[in-house]
Amino acid sequence: MFRRSGSFVAFHVEGRMPAPRSADFAGAMASQRFRSIEDAASEEASVGWVTPGDPTGDTFELEDLDLDRALWLRIRIDRKRLPAVWLRIRRGQAERSAGRKLSAAERRELKDALMDELLPRVLPAVQLVDVLYDPEQRLALLFGTATGLRDEFRKLWFRTFASDVVESDAGSLARRVGLDAAAERYLDEVSPVPWLRDRRAAAAVRGPRRMVAAGAAAAADDDESAERTAEEAQA
């Protein structure tokens, strides 16, 4: 089950989504399922979907995802790395045998040989991260706050559903509950920056501003050129 305590980040889901609790939804998750790297002979990472009932990513039963009005999703992230302590041990042995410090090339060769020897036997570190998706509110709660995790979640969601998730904040959450006009105006007053309703509105604002800025810059260049010409004529 979910952890008793912890933090989460809320994301608004944009774009079309497959119907919740449908074969299409489960199929989309299965297309980006977690894939094991236990036998990998190199340092790498694997990110993909699993279910609370099957941490391997081999099955995606709808009953494992159903959580009343929401869907309980889970991300598995495995990372395989060469243990740094073993590299220090082997390097120390090699330097004692040689009676000197290893050169940079020799250290690279030692690391490559050690990776070939040890990585197939090293188990990856496993991280399981829960996601609560409310299709009615078009809201996804990611139970983790690390910047790298949020980036991985955005990319995985887009690969899976061809849909964007936009990190929310207090202002955007408040607007989505259906505020009246007076409350909207008050929110604008107390906000450091007026909140835009969605990214399309933001793009619509950015476009004209860029055109105005470009026009202003061009006009400034023309004024400077005219001033230089006048100065040269006077000289």
Domain boundaries, given as residue ranges, for the chain: 9-80+124-175, 84-118, 198-235
Say what angle helices 104-118 and 84-98 make with each other, to 10 degrees.
130
Summarised one tens digit per residue, pLDDT across range 148-176 is 999 999 999 999 999 999 998 766 766 66
DSSP state of 119: G
- pLDDT over 60 (residue 200): no
In this prediction, residue 210 carries a pLDDT of: 44
Q: Please state, for a pLDDT cut of 70, what percent of the chain lies above it.
A: 74
In this prediction, residue 85 carries a pLDDT of: 92
Summarised one tens digit per residue, pLDDT across range 80-135 is 998 889 899 999 999 999 999 999 999 999 999 988 888 888 899 999 999 999 99
Per-residue pLDDT band for 211 (boundaries 50, 70, 90) equals very low
- pLDDT over 50 (residue 199): no
pTM of the predicted protein model: 0.69
Handedness of CA 144, 150, 156, 161 (dihedral sign): positive
Least-confidence region, from 31-35, 55-59, 169-173: 169-173
In this prediction, residue 5 carries a pLDDT of: 62
**DSSP β-bridge partners for residue 132:** 72, 141
In this prediction, residue 147 carries a pLDDT of: 94
Alpha helices by DSSP H, listed for the chain, are: 23-31, 62-65, 84-98, 104-118, 147-161, 170-175, 181-190, 199-234
Mean pLDDT along residues 200-212 = 42
**DSSP β-bridge partners for residue 67:** 70
Six token digits for residue 44: 């790498």
